[in-house]
Structure 1
Amino acid sequence: MESHQIIQHNILYSCSYQKEQSSEQFLPEHSLGITLSGEAEYFTNEGSYIVKPGTIGLMRRNQLVKKYKKPSLGGEPFKMIGVFFDQKTLRQYAAENDIDEQQPYQGRSVIQLTGNPVIKGFFDSLIPYESHPEKLSLKMCGLKTREALELLLQIDHSFKNFLFDFREPYKMDLENFMQRNYQYNVSIGTFAKLTGRSLSTFKREFAKIFDATPEKWVQRKRLEMAHYLIAQKKKRPIEVYLEVGFENLSHFSFAFKKHYGFAPSEVGG
């Protein structure tokens, strides 16, 4: 059977039958999600998280995430439902409910809500729409999104700070950020945004620090990490190309051979 995704406005239904699948993403908006079946492991700068059926999590916007998902041992696919809270909706909700401007959020970027019966009930109400996505009109999605916000604020008043801090990423140490995040397969524009810079400023400051363009430096760092993992950790090329930030094995093999002069399969111990 084939994998599929259904996106109705800001509500996502995802189903994967692949034996194992990896994806990397930049989360531009807050999201609330539940795993229905299968298993996955999420990696962020705060650590890794195992998600199994019933796991519910609230994830903060402007995050880099690696995700490895796979079906269960019984052959059930990896399935999840996610609701995304865009900034326009949150600002409208804040204005309608007299929510003041919040202080900069300082808490964790991933919050576990597994076992909460109210949030579980909310997602139960969304399950039937997977078979009838046309019923999830823009108005209905708006109502369900506001319902989720109401429930979150009832559960924990501190979620107000999590959800309604509208500040964009502040300007941070570019060199330290890139050394920690080059393996995430996202655009240079996303790296610029996350360091609190315009794209032109990011490229200019990057060149001063690293004496190279972001594109060339990122690829070199990924290839060096791949070489280390293959030569020293005895991993196979097929095991490392996603880990270091390449989209597919053929592109990784081509870039590796061009850089080192030999294929990744020819790396000696």
Structure 2
Amino acid sequence: MEHVSNYLTPEIKLSCYQDKFFKSEIVFDQHMLVWFISGETRIVQAEATHLFGSGDIFLIPRNKPATIINFPKDGLPHKTVVMLLTTDVLRKYYQQFSVTTNITAVPKIRSFRNHPLLESCLVSLIPYFEMKDRFPPQLASLKLTEAISILRTIDPEVDSVLANFDDPHKVDLIGFMEKNYMFNMPMEKFGYLTGRSLSTFKRDFKKAFNTTPQKWLTQKRLELAHYQIAEQKLKPLDACYETGFENLSHFSFAFKKHFGYAPTSIASQKHHWHTDLRLTRG
């Protein structure tokens, strides 16, 4: 996989994927503001699946599990400008304001397609990626401040996301796991996002589900994949990547072991079922 990241600063980069696609399950530790130059991204979250392409600008909130699938498109690589709106940067920014916000329990991706103010801010960074000289830190600070100020101007509710510096609170374990089991994260991250240490997470999980997290996660992901292939007509490869499996061979092996047949056989099975049903009705 050919991936190049050109950093102006640790918070500002130009990211480029040249290969067919790149997939990752991820929980961002910081908010990310992304402007698409070319290519396409599918972001799968518990509540919805988002598709972004050239010209799109969106904000991905921190501590939100997601499956990210990046594609080239129209012969062009997957290319984006990314700003990390870190907790340190945001704390410093919000010190000058007295902000009262309604904290959003489950922040969602916020989309700002082709917004002229945001686009001009992010487009203005492009020439700097060609410079050989070091990008001035004070200019980076100004650019980050400009982006945050524009976000607050065009989205009055964005403070509920950006000005929330709390770590995840202890949440209902069953509800959280039922919504987020398709994301392939370390157990430590599941624990953190539910407000628990790893040992407390495992203990509470055993009490809630009467099994280990890994066994439960594998079964839930396989059941979801079966539904996606059989009912939603997804290709096995797409179902594999959208349900938290790392590669197709591992997914196919686990699927056949659990259900007794390969994921590729579902389409032909459904055809036989429909044929048998017509014959019975006839």
Q: TM-score range by the shorter chain?
A: 0.7 to 0.9
5+ residue gaps, structure 2? 270-282
Which residue of structure 2 aligns with residue 82 of structure 1? 82
Q: Name the count of aligned residue pairs.
A: 267
Contact map agreement 2:44 2:242 (CA 8 A) in 1: no
Do the aligned partners of 2:228 and 2:234 also contact (CA within 8 Å) in 1?
Answer: yes
Contact 1:129 1:135 in 2 (8 A): no
- Deviation of residue 266 (structure 1)? 6.2
Hey, what does 2:32 align to over in structure 1? 31
1:259 deviation in Å?
4.9
SS in 1 for 2:244: coil
2:2 aligns with 2
How high is the TM-score relative to the length of structure 2?
Answer: 0.81
- Shift, 1:221, TM fit: 2.0
Give the Cα–Cα distance (whole angstroms) in 1 for the partners of residues 44 and 28 of structure 2: 13
Q: In the TM superposition, what whole-angstrom CA distance separates every residue of 1:30-84 from its partner, at most 9, and x where no partner exists?
A: 22111111222323234233322111112222212223332223x1112111111
Equivalent pair of 2:41/2:53 in contact (CA under 8 Å)? yes
Letter in 1 for 2:94: A
Match of 1:178 in 2: 177
| Cα separation, partners in 2 of 1:183 and 1:157, compared to 1, 3 Å | closer
Q: 1:144 to 1:133 in 2, by over 3 A?
A: farther
Partners of 1:77 and 1:166 in 2: how far apart? 35
State the partner residue of 2:73.
Answer: 72
Pairing of 1:244-259 with structure 2 (within 5 A)? 244-256=243-255, 259=258
* Structure 1 spans left out of the alignment, 5+ residues: none
| 1:172 match: secondary structure | coil
Instruction: Describe the superposition over 1:106-151 as per-residue Cα deviations: whole angstroms up to 9, x where unpaired.
Output: 6852222223212111111111233347633555433322222222
How does 1:134-149 map onto structure 2 within 5 Å?
135-136=134-135, 138-149=137-148
Within-5 A mapping of 1:44-193: 44-73=45-74, 75-95=75-95, 97-100=96-99, 102-105=101-104, 109-132=108-131, 135-136=134-135, 138-193=137-192
SS in 1 for 2:73: coil
Note if contact 1:9-1:138 (Cα within 8 Å) is conserved in structure 2: no
User: Quick check: 1:101–1:165 contact (8 Å CA) kept in 2?
Assistant: no
Q: Conserved in 1, the CA contact under 8 Å of 2:43 and 2:69?
A: yes
- 1:208 deviates by 0.5
Q: 1:19 to 1:222 in 2, by over 3 A?
A: same
Q: Secondary structure at the match of 2:83?
A: strand
Question: Taking every aligned residue pair, what percent have the same amino acid on both sides?
Answer: 37
**In structure 1, how many angstroms separate the alpha carbons of the residues matched to 2:119 and 2:233?**
42
Contact (CA 8 Å) 1:5, 1:14: kept in 2 or not?
Answer: yes
Q: How far off is 1:5 after superposition?
A: 2.6
Return the alpha-carbon distance in structure 2 between the equivalents of residues 43 and 259 of structure 1: 24
Q: Spell out, residue by residue over 1:184-216, the C-alpha distance to the aligned partner (whole angstroms, 9 max, x if none).
A: 122222222222222222111101111122122
**In the alignment, does 2:14 pair up with 1:13?**
yes
Distance 1:155 1:68 in 2: 28
Q: Distance in 1 between matches of 2:156 and 2:195?
A: 28
Q: Is the 8 A contact 2:25 2:66 kept in 1?
A: yes
Instruction: Tell me: CA distance 1:174–1:106, structure 2 relative to 1, closer, same or farther (3 Å).
Output: closer
How many angstroms does 1:167 deviate by? 2.4
Structure 1 residues 136, 99: CA separation in 2 closer, same or farther (over 3 Å shift)?
Answer: farther
Distance 2:58 2:198 in 1: 31
Distance in 2 between the 1:101 and 1:232 partners? 45
Deviates more, 1:148-157 or 1:198-207: 148-157
C-alpha deviation, 1:181, in angstroms: 1.2
Which entry has the higher C-alpha Rg, 1 or 2? 2
SS in 2 for 1:42: strand
**Partner of 2:27: helix, strand, or coil?**
strand
Q: Say which SS state the counterpart of residue 58 (structure 1) adopts.
A: strand
User: Secondary structure in 2 aligned to 1:242?
Assistant: helix
Q: 8 Å contact 2:31–2:61 — kept in the other structure?
A: yes
Aligned to 1:226: 225
